[in-house]
Chain A
Amino acid sequence: MHPILKLLVQRIALSLLLLLAASAMIFIGTQILPGDVAQSILGQSATPESLANLRAELGLNEPALTRYFDWLFGALQGDLGTALTNGRDIAESLGTRLKNTMFLAFWAAVISVPLAIFLGLLAVRYQNRWPDKLISAVTLTSISIPEFLIGYVLMYFISVKLGWFTSVSTIYDSMSLGEKLSAIALPVTVLTLVVLAHMMRMTRAAILNVMQSAYIETAELKGLSMFNIIRKHAFPNAIAPIVNVVMLNLAYLVVGVVVVEVVFVYPGMGQYLVDHVSKRDVPVVQACGLIFAAVYIGLNMVADIVSILANPRLRHPK
């Protein structure tokens, strides 16, 4: 077996194992939430009979291990159960929310990742001169301001004062792609501003690190232009750390944007999860937890794989 293939298989197997461990943690975590699940669903007016009925209905009388495997096998087959609060099929409600979250994350990534890398390259090209300083200052400012504040400021000027884009980003199926994109313009802008600095700084640092190497000096002596050196020689060798930070930020765009969702009234997974946590709707919390874990582990796995593939020593073993 080619060593690189072996490494990849190892990575994927490890990720799956990690996901399994995460599922166990999620299950345990929701079991040790304070209070009885049936009690928190029925509230203070619950009678002992209705509590007993609900416990039986939820299968809470089964041993925890049996419940865990029932849940896990159900989840593997796409059966996440029904929400306790409104009796809806979780997979179905979650599907719509996940699609929306992915839609927002996708467009935020499409804009922010190339922009961050481009700005990073630009900053290296003009290192320690005004473009570098300006880029750093602007992006570091925008990451330092809480995202809800950026959201409110944009909302006030762009939506209320200028009326260019809507401040309510609710999207639904009957909207055309153009309408959807117009609706999410403001949250995408906010998310871009929030994730830009991290990726841009990492790109800059990684490339600057490579720029110290002897082969860059050789390229310079060959008379290549600065931008070509960065693009052809420095960037490919700096790809692993950049991909790592890009993946981290993508994961953030999927699992960490609840504040932006609330501010812009975007029907994503974050708000869905928070609503169900406050109502102790355990099956939904478990399902959301599992999906978030899968996204996180999956994206990190991609980052690992790209790093492996980007490493020439691993690609061409002696």
Chain B
Amino acid sequence: MMNNELKHLAARVARKTVSRRDFLGRAGALGVSAVAANSLLADAVRAAGPNKGGHLVQGLGGGESTNTLDPALTASQVPFANLRHFGETLVGVSETGELTPRLAENIEASDDAKVWNFKIRKDVEFHNGKTMDANDVMRTMERHSNEDSKSGALGIMQGIESMSVDGDTFAVTLKSPNADLPYLLADYHLVIQPDGGFDNPGAGIGTGPYTVDVDEPGVRHVFKKNPNYWGGDVVNYDSAEVLVINDATARTAALQSGQVHMINRVEPKVAKLIDRAPGVSIKNVAGRGHYVFIMHCDTAPFDNNELRMALKYAINREEMVDKILRGYGTIGNDLPINAAYPLFDDTIPQRKHDIEKAKEHYAKSGHDGSPIILRVADGAFPGAVDAGALFQESARAAGIPLEIKREPNDGYWSEVWNKQPFCASYWGGRPVQDQMYSTAYLSTADWNDTRFKNPEFDALLNKAKAELDEGKRKAIYSEMAHILRDNGGLICPMFNDFVDAVSDKVAGYVLDPNAELSNGFAPVRTWFA
């Protein structure tokens, strides 16, 4: 009865015949908590359907004047957001981790997961008026996989043996089975372009729900609603703008003064303050990105697993999440995988900070007591220098002489990471376990930044690729996780949340662990309240 009255009232708030304040007041009088009342309200607003119109402005960090609209060269946040406006991939991954059909209507795999058929959607038009077909899809995949490709997706394309087109079906034959191929093709780089974008990769022509209106790299990018979008009238705004604001304080000020409606990359240390400020709220979601310290398993002194274990026990994960992420994150377990991944085994025991065990392993390692050099830079991940200092302190308690060497941000990724035997680093995560392991933990992986070479692990990874039964795959992944956790060169203290902030003027925001700002789909999923 009480609930019915509130539901009715909430519906009226959504239609704007009752004010939000009156509603909350009435809810309070009926003894309903503010949290419950607000969630009731949110449901009602969603049910009432989105409003149409308006100009959305997103203030995003991670854009440079060197950016281009070429999907292959996308490597930072602003180009990623741009792709989400004008481009589309064959398949998408939903906020709950399921595959969603986009430009491919239907996906079929052969029993051995080696041959995959993608049925391409009909009546989809590129922004230049050309009708999209399976040839465009194949040409796109060719551009990302050919020899001189500079594509960020090159790594995931290397498993492809051949591709072919038959009518409206695009077929992929793999060198070895891979049950996760559709997830790989959901990679944001693989935006379908007319003729694969060979003639003009940076033209900004795609099939997406917005068309490119203004493209000023490092300044702003403006998009207009695409009237010919195949998905119909899904976009709620008339136009959307990405304003490049690299300075975190400037980004926050722009949101608070109402010049932008949403921002990315809120610094954890100010997130709680912003959440308390009127008119804006923090949207944080646990993602797959993680901050790590990586040791080369083949380089002395890290070639000794006892020493690696000593360091793994010496790090205080809770303290790091608390002090470096200010609580906007979760503790790691020396694995690159967490519960955000499908088929994750959550029964793997959590490694804890244990000085005694650290001492024990350190003694067994027989290390000569010379300083162990850990290289850090704030460019490795925000707060890496501080995290290094915390690690040094907790290691000292276990008698391990850690020495922190601060490196310049400039050139960190080319001179330190993947070159020096022990350094701080960051991984953005991948949509599925297979891809994460294949990218960085397979013996032969280019980015095997821990020089982890374990034949048993490699064999299990290949076995999992060919296994279409999810229960069995989960068991294999669990076994691999145990091997890596107890033998690998990865010290993973924490997984960071994506921390964004959104104005109260925006409704319909969906938390999505795939990437920041609702996996880049905020301009499609939201509307002005």
Contact = CB atoms under 8 A, between A and B. Distances in A.
B410 A262 contact: no
Given A45-B154, A166-B259, A265-B243, A86 B253 contact: no
A245 B309 CA distance: 63
B260 A168 contact: yes
Given A163-B257, A168-B254, A172-B220, A265 B414 contact: no
Given A40-B414, A263-B250, A278-B410, A160 B216 contact: no
B387 interface: no
A133 interface: no
Contacts of A166: 257, 259
B64 A265 contact: no
A272 interface: yes
Contacts of A278: 64, 410
Contacts of A152: 249, 253
Nearest to B277: A160
Contact of B219 (A86, A88, A156, A172): A172
B217 A172 contact: no
A267 B216 contact: yes
A265 B68 contact: no
B451 to A, nearest CB: 15
B149 to A, nearest CB: 10
A170 B220 contact: yes
A87 B202 contact: yes
A86 B202 contact: yes
Contacts of A45: 150, 154, 446
Nearest to B64: A275
Interface in B179-210: 202
Contact of B244 (A47, A53, A163, A265): A265
A250 to B, nearest CB: 24
B347 interface: no
A93 interface: yes
Interface in A274-295: 275-276, 278-279, 281
Interface in A36-81: 40, 42-45, 47, 49-50, 53
Contact of B253 (A44, A167, A172, A275): A167
Contact of A279 (B64, B202, B259): B64
A167 B260 CA distance: 10
B66 interface: yes
Contact of A86 (B66, B244, B247, B446): B66
Given A170-B220, A263-B247, A279 B66 contact: yes
Contact of B257 (A97, A160, A170, A267): A160
Contacts of B257: 159-160, 163, 166-167
B523 interface: no
Interface residues of A, number: 41
Contacts of B147: 47, 49
Interface in A127-174: 152, 155-156, 159-160, 163, 166-168, 170, 172
Contacts of A159: 253, 257
B254 A44 contact: no
Contact of A44 (B202, B244, B246, B414): B414
Interface in A227-280: 262-265, 267, 271-272, 275-276, 278-279
A152 B256 CA distance: 13
B66 A85 contact: yes
B253 A160 contact: yes
A172 to B, nearest CB: 7
A50 B148 contact: yes
A154 B61 CA distance: 21
A206 B400 CA distance: 63
Interface string A81-104: 001011110000100110000000
Contact of B67 (A86, A155, A265, A271): A86
Cβ-closest 4 pairs across A and B: A85-B66, A86-B68, A275-B64, A267-B219
23 contacts: A42-B150, A43-B414, A53-B148, A86-B68, A93-B65, A152-B249, A155-B253, A163-B257, A163-B258, A167-B253, A167-B259, A168-B59, A168-B245, A168-B254, A172-B214, A265-B246, A267-B216, A267-B219, A271-B218, A272-B218, A275-B66, A278-B64, A278-B410
Interface of B: 59, 64-68, 70, 147-148, 150, 154, 202, 214, 216-220, 243-247, 249-250, 253-254, 256-260, 410, 414, 418, 446
Given A168-B245, A275-B218, 8 more contacts: A45-B150, A86-B66, A86-B217, A96-B216, A160-B256, A167-B250, A168-B254, A265-B254
